[in-house]
């Protein structure tokens, strides 16, 4: 059975980005509990920003789980990517992500690789960048095994990366890692609306590898605020037997609370 989650950002420099709740972990947990979410997804500057004991208490007190943890601050704050021309920067990027994996692993939550995947370009040709990306995903997936969590790879739209933009490309990337790679795909409906010819067919293509979903409309507003056909999309999510989180990585429109409320109402409408 699918579960609901909502994003909580602790990165003030990213304010205005696609995260619903912005007023800290305690306030985020309170809102999530009040509205009936199953979990929160946390975007932080790094593990040093999150007091794990405090987070554990907040999750317990509000009867919530941790769905996933983001790693994007590695790029936003430190300028690190896994496909940098600099080997030192690539290694620093992996070490940053490993610390995020450790933080989330305590709570059974996987770490998400999104913007830290980087780009290919004149300094790093496409095939070389994809090789770096695949090697990093394999290494980080292996590292996550000790915490019994997957490593979560999110392909992005063409404006945010030129590496993998569609589900089929992510499947091809992960298939190069062998059968025991411990990496799953994050399917984000916002990115899918831009890049996929048929969103439902894309879900079928990635059925065996999709392990996390960002539940958001085509314009990055909460589901119901755009034109994605959620009748069809919810049907295919059920069809492929997906039983992970539907996590709202959406802009807080028109307000944080209203965005959270619209998200859970849409979740209950299609999956309740």
Number of domains comprising the chain? 1
Does residue 179 surpass a pLDDT of 90? Answer: no
> Domain of 236?
3-271
Above pLDDT 90, what percent of the chain?
94
pLDDT at 22: 97
pLDDT at 16: 83
Active site residue 34: no
Q: Is the pTM of this model over 0.95?
A: yes
Confidence of residue 13 (pLDDT cuts 50, 70, 90): confident
Per mean pLDDT, which range of 7-21, 130-144, 191-205 is the poorest? 7-21
With both helix axes pointing from N to C terminus, report the angle between 87-105 and 126-144 in degrees, rounded to the nearest 10: 30
Of 41, 195, 249, 256, catalytic: 249
Could you tell me the CATH number of the domain that includes residue 21?
Answer: 3.20.20.150
Of 154, 195, 196, 256, catalytic: 154
Active site residue 154: yes
Tens digit of pLDDT for each residue in 83-128? Answer: 999 999 999 999 999 999 999 999 999 999 999 999 999 999 999 9
Tens digit of pLDDT for each residue in 29-54? Answer: 999 999 999 999 999 999 999 999 99
């Amino acid at each position: 059975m699918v579960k609901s989650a909502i994003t909580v950002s602790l990165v003030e420099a990213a304010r205005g980005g696609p995260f619903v709740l912005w007023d800290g972990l305690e306030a985020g947990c309170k809102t999530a509990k009040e509205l009936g979410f199953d979990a929160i997804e946390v975007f932080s500057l790094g593990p040093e920003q999150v007091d794990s004991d405090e987070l554990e208490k907040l999750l317990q007190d509000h009867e919530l789980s941790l769905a996933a943890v983001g790693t994007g601050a590695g790029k936003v704050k430190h300028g690190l990517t896994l496909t940098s021309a600099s080997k030192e920067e690539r290694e620093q990027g992996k070490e940053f992500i490993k610390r995020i994996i450790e933080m989330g692993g305590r709570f059974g939550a996987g770490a998400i690789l999104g913007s830290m995947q980087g780009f290919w370009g004149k300094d790093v040709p496409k095939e070389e960048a994809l090789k770096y990306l695949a090697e990093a995903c394999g290494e980080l997936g292996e590292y996550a095994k000790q915490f019994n969590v997957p490593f979560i790879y999110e392909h992005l739209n063409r404006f945010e990366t030129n590496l993998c933009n569609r589900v089929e490309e992510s499947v091809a990337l992960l298939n190069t890692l062998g059968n025991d790679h411990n990496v799953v795909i994050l399917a984000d409906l916002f990115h899918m609306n831009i890049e996929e010819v048929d969103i439902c067919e894309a879900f079928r293509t990635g059925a065996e590898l999709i392990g996390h979903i960002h539940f958001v409309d085509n314009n990055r507003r909460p589901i119901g605020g755009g034109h994605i056909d959620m009748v069809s999309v919810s049907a295919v999510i059920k069809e492929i037997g997906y039983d992970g989180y539907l996590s709202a990585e959406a802009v807080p429109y028109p307000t944080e609370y209203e965005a959270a409320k619209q998200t859970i109402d849409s979740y209950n409408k299609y999956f309740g």
